Structure 1
Amino acid sequence: MKVKSAIAVIVVALAVYFFVLGRRAVELISDGGAGMVVLGVAVLILPLLGVWMIYSTLRSAFAHDRLAHRIAEEGRELDTDDLPRRPSGRFERDAADALFAQVKSEWEADPDDWRSNYRLARAYDVAGDRKRAREIMKRAVALEGLQRKADATGESAGPPERSQG
């Protein structure tokens, strides 16, 4: 709950900042001078970009949180408690690679299940490959969304386009 409260405080602070920045942009634009209008438009772009980044980040975070809760309820969360760690807190490379190999073989057996994609994304993250972890997590979110939609309508869901894991 502390994390959600911290996120709420940060979002509110950014909203106030974006409002003040947007108001200043409008003042610059209303000044009327060509240079001020250009500067005002440039300043106005910043809060718009900020709002979009907050929205997309929170949307992804809520989707990942939903999947994490579902996978935990099913008892299929990736168990990393026994993996050895370096002094920095990162996982030992050999242990992370062994876990990744195990999870990848599970994924290969059922690449269109959101659960296997979620677990593969987590294994990529443990192995330190954040880019692939994000790609596969997006796929897991899409697959889970298709499954929820299919469950609600009683139809079967087809998998979205798959990236190679």
Structure 2
Amino acid sequence: MSARIGVAIIAACLLLYIVLVAQLAVMLIGTGEAVGVAMGVALIVLPVIAAWALGRELLFGVQASRLGRMLEAEHALPEEELDARPSGRVLRHEADAVFPRYREAVEQAPEDWRAWYRLGLAYDGSGDRRRARAAVRTAIRLERASRRA
């Protein structure tokens, strides 16, 4: 629950930033001076990009959480009990030890969103956030395709 509160606070701060920058952009464009108009147009682009990125990340979080709940309901989440640091982060050498099993599961069933989601969890436990997110995005795409079929 604290993660959701943190996300809400950060999203609200970013939304406030978007509104303030957009207001400044409109004021600069309203000056009618070439430099002010150019700066105002540039400042409009920044909030648009920020809003797009915020929406994309929030959607990713919602979709990833939904898949996690689905796996939990199926009792299909990884069951390894790995030691963790006081922060709750899994010890990397322990995550690395179980990682090959999840990689092999994806190699054997590359169209199984469940295998991809578990691989994402394994990547995350190993500390590779970029690959973890990519694996979970693949799981989201495959699960969406399976619903349409």
TM-score by length of 1: 0.80
Deviation at 1:107, TM superposition (A): 2.1
Please state whether the residue corresponding to 1:84 is helix, strand or coil. coil
State the Cα distance separating 1:37 from its structure 2 match.
1.0
The 1-side partners of 2:85 and 2:10 are apart by: 31
For 1:130, give the aligned amino acid.
R
Give 1:125 shift.
1.1
Partner of 1:35: 35
Q: Gapped runs of 5+ residues in structure 1?
A: 151-165
Superposition CA RMSD, Å = 2.0
Deviation of 1:8 (Å): 3.2
CA distance in 1, matches of 2:109, 2:100: 15
2:143 counterpart SS class: helix
Aligned partner of 2:77 in structure 1 is 77
2:94 alignment partner in structure 1: 95
- Deviation readout 1:71-119 (Å, 9 max, x if unpaired): 1111111235x21235675433432122101222222221210000101
Structure 2: gaps of 5 or more residues = none
- What is the match of residue 134 of structure 1? 133
Give the number of aligned pairs: 149
Change (3 A) 1:92 1:12: closer
Q: Deviations over 1:46-86 (max 9, x none)?
A: 21111111111111111101111101111111235x21235
The question of whether the paired residues in 1 share the 8 Å contact of 2:92 and 2:125 is answered with no
* Preserved contact between residue 93 and residue 126 of structure 2 (Cα < 8 Å): no
Shift in Å, 1:129: 1.6
Deviating more after overlay: 86-95 vs 18-27: 86-95
TM-score (structure 2 length as normaliser)? 0.87
Counterpart in 2 of 1:119?
118
1:36 Cα deviation after fit: 0.8
Counterpart of 1:160 in structure 2 is none
Q: Within the alignment, does 1:26 sit opposite 2:2 as a pair?
A: no
